[in-house]
Structure 1
Amino acid sequence: MINLKDKKNIFWDFDGVIMDSMPIRNKGFELVLENYPKDQVQALMKFHLKNGGLSRYVKFRHFFEEIRGENVSEEEVKEWAQKFSKIMKKELVQPPLLIKDSLNFIKENYRKFNMHIVSGSDGMELNYLCERLEISWYFISIHGSPVPKKELVHNLLIKHKYKRNDTILIGDSINDYEAAESNDIDFGGYNNERLKELKTLYIESFT
């Protein structure tokens, strides 16, 4: 059985794990795409909710290429992501949105573990939010998209020479599990009971 006490390095997902941000992020997609047909936006929302750990870059590309059948350039995807980020920077700087259960654990244990954030959210936006919310100093580093989460995890393992069996990724989506599995590190599910089906560690509460 996986035990956090046996680990030295914790990679944290952000949305749904450290912050209860998903309702605002959900609304953000609807606001940014408000001039498009509602049925197409709802199709995106279905994809978004099923793939919580994927970046907005992947989701906007999915919207235009798979749902609307249009070609979209990297530059256009970045422009949509920036519009989304502008809303998030305004709406998410709210300390009450931080999840007390996980945040208390982080505050009490950040000296005992090497802690990093690896998120599907935009990396620059995430650093801005953590700085404004005064939680950035609990983490050695904070990383996000457009670099895929699997790659973020791989890069951290190599850069810091972390042993894989000393490392765990804690997340709330199947994409987080896949990022952990592809890098041969343990996974801890949190705040999403569907992850219990994976038969890996599931954290009901950090207390």
Structure 2
Amino acid sequence: MNVIFWDFDGVLMDSNAIRNTGFEKVLADYPPEQVEQLLSFHKANGGLSRYVKFRYFFEKIRNESVMEEQITILATRFSVIMKDLLLNEDLLFSETLDFVKRNQGNYKMHITSGSDQEELRYLCESLKISYLFDSVHGSPTAKIFLIKDLIDLHKYDHSKCVLIGDSINDWEAADANGILFMAYNSDEIVKSKTNYSFIF
């Protein structure tokens, strides 16, 4: 195995619960039962971007059209909240980060996340972990395409790549790109998709 694509939330950082808080704060003016529906969708689809989730909230839960500008405004508010709440090194998973530190140079390692790319790079720089990875990538580009673009750019051998993630969307991104998948910190449904044993 030469290349590792890392998910961020729930794999490198214990941030999923805080992401829930972000959606609650940004959508505080909407009916609580609708926000709960979004949170259920968010928890089941951790690897999708907030842009997709906000659009789902309006189009599928509220059954109304939404302008791209409104999605951008909500995503920006969400990012401001995240930059404040996630700037905490205690939230980093020591198990995975220790592995990354021990193996820097042994693998090509990229972060490919559903989180906003600008926000993600800000957090990684501020928490002083950016140097551990060859690159850091996030939304609004979907993870499927982030991985495809990196494989194409670096001419990686698909058979020597693995994605480590915690959601069904991560498995889908790995499967779509013909690379191996390892579930970490995941429920049984996601764990059942694991096709590669990886020891930290």
TM-score, reference length from structure 1: 0.94
Shift in CA distance, 145/95, structure 1 to aligned 2, threshold 3 Å = same
Aligned pairs for 1:194-205 within 5 A? 194=188, 195-201=190-196
Equivalent residue letter for 1:139 = F
Q: Which amino acid in structure 2 is aligned with residue 200 of structure 1? A: N
CA distance in 2, matches of 1:71, 1:175: 25
Given candidates 141, 145, 149, the residue that maps to 2:143 is 149
In 2, are the aligned partners of 1:188 and 1:202 still within 8 Å (CA)? yes
Structure 2 counterpart of 1:84, from 70, 78, 82: 78
Structure 2 counterpart of 1:36: 30
Deviation at 1:199, TM superposition (A): 5.0
What fraction of aligned residue pairs are identical, expressed as a percent?
53
Q: Secondary structure at the match of 1:137?
A: helix
Query: Are the aligned partners of 1:120 and 1:148 in contact in 2 as well (CA < 8 Å)?
Result: yes
Aligned partners of 2:177, 2:138: CA distance in 1, in Å? 17
Q: Deviations over 1:163-198 (max 9, x none)?
A: 101111100011000000000000011111412222
- Residues 190, 202 of structure 1: 8 Å contact kept: no
Task: Answer yes or no: is the 8 Å Cα contact 1:57–1:146 preserved in 2.
Answer: yes
Q: Tell me the CA shift for residue 74 of structure 1.
A: 1.4
* Matched-pair contact (CA < 8 Å) for 2:182–2:194: no
TM-score by length of 2: 0.97
Matched with 2:18 is 24
Describe the shift of the 1:142–1:20 C-alpha distance in structure 2 as closer, same or farther (beyond 3 A). Answer: same
- Distance of aligned partners of 1:199 and 1:106 in 2 relative to their CA distance in 1, 3 Å threshold: closer
The aligned runs of 1:8-157 (5 Å cut-off) are 8-157=2-151
Q: Is the 8 A contact 1:189 1:202 kept in 2?
A: no
CA contact (8 A) 1:189 1:201 kept: no
Q: Distance in 2 between matches of 1:33 and 1:90?
A: 17
Report how many residues are paired: 199
Q: Aligned partner of 1:15: which letter?
A: D
Letter in structure 1 aligned against 2:196: L
